[in-house]
Amino acid sequence: MVKAYTQEHVYKHPWERVTSASWRKFTDPANVRTLSHILEVDTLNRRLDPQTGRLYTTRSITVHAPGPWFVRKIVGEDICHCVESSVVDARARSMEITTRNVSLRNFLEVEEKSWYGPHPENPGEWTAFRQQTSIRCKPLSALASMAEKVEQRCAERFLQNSIKGREVMERICKYLEAESGGISI
């Protein structure tokens, strides 16, 4: 069974500032404590398409394995490796990010899709954010009856981390705003 969770948020900052903050989210030293589940982020590939002007980026993200501690014990892993693919279309003012786990797939599949774009009510000053997370726990013979509980715990953790991520983004946006002298980009 696949469970999907959708969240939406409005950043009261222009798209350019919010997407700049997105790139800094994992690398800003001030966020290490808040995003303590993120262990490492490496850029694997970055390519600008000269025809469309779109920026394509692939990053490797290593995180603390999601789910309850007893599942991590059974699985034998405390970390999970993920791949993040992003497409930034500056002309259309759109940024799409898809993140999938590449390890632990025999037990748990997670796909997170995020989108940033101008908010319809105030496109010059606000940014709309939509995030959809799909979680599928593959039942293990020893845990078949626990699969739903494991999915629920994973979902709770992803939702908590999503809130932390938005807090970090807001903090970086405010920093970028102050750095630019309060002038909208």
Domain range for 167: 2-179
Q: Is residue 147 part of a domain?
A: yes
> How many domains does the chain fold into?
1
Q: By CB neighbour count within 10 A (0-12 exposed, 13-18 middle, 19+ buried), where does 6 fall?
A: exposed
Distance of alpha carbon 170 from the chain centroid = 14
**Cα separation, 29 vs 48, whole angstroms:** 27
Of the pLDDT bands very low, low, confident and very high (cuts 50, 70, 90), residue 163 is confident
The pTM of the whole model exceeds 0.85: no
Question: Which comes out higher in pLDDT, residue 104 or 23?
Answer: 23
Q: Is residue 156 part of a domain?
A: yes
pLDDT recorded at residue 176:
92
Q: What CATH number has the domain bearing residue 115?
A: 3.30.530.20
pLDDT recorded at residue 140:
60
pLDDT recorded at residue 182:
61
